[in-house]
Amino acid sequence: MFAHRSGALAYKNVGVENGVSSADPHRLTLMLFEGALVSTNAARIHLESGDVPLKGSAISKAIEIISNGLKVSLDFEVGGELAQRLASLYDYMCTRLLHANVRNDLAALAEVSTLLRELKEAWEQIGKPNSIANSGSTA
């Protein structure tokens, strides 16, 4: 059984690595949002079940993704004020996650999950082709 789990984990890791190596910057950012959302959801599940070590680990992973993935990827020269605001929002999310970890605060986890989901949805919209430009319309 252990070999099966080990093989499945290796397959999963290769799949993630292949996805990362072949993804464009837009897709990479979406993957970061997805990873942070998975981690905050896992933290909620572990908090509800009383598994403190796994809750802490999941929150730490979410913080790592937000601070060393999403925030680090901001281009302050090109992004200007928007990049500054996003950096502040990412800092706020990390602070709320730390609070959720120390206080076992489900509301703080939910707040961060909502913010991540909204940003992810906005990022998805940015990546969609313009429906008018691609419809063949000459209007």
pLDDT digits (tens, 9 = 90+) for 47-85: 999 999 999 999 999 999 999 999 999 999 999 999 999
- What are the extents of the domains in the chain? 24-126
So what's the architecture of 24-126 in CATH? Up-down Bundle (1.20)
Q: Is 137 helix (H, G, I), strand (E, B) or coil?
A: coil
Alpha-carbon distance values, 44 to 1, 38, 66, 115 (Å): 28, 10, 17, 15
Q: Look at residue 30 and tell me whether its pLDDT is greater than 50.
A: yes
Q: Where are the alpha helices (DSSP H) in the chain?
A: 2-22, 25-49, 52-65, 76-103, 106-127
Counting Cβ atoms within 10 Å, is residue 8 exposed (0-12), middle (13-18) or buried (19+)? exposed
- In tens, the pLDDT along 97-136 reads 999 999 999 999 999 999 999 999 999 998 877 634 444 4
- Give dist(CA 83, CA 80) in Å, integer: 5
Contacts 24+ apart (CB under 8 A), 106-115: 106/44, 106/47, 106/48, 109/40, 109/43, 109/44, 109/47, 109/59, 110/44, 112/40, 112/62, 113/37, 113/40, 113/41, 113/44, 115/89
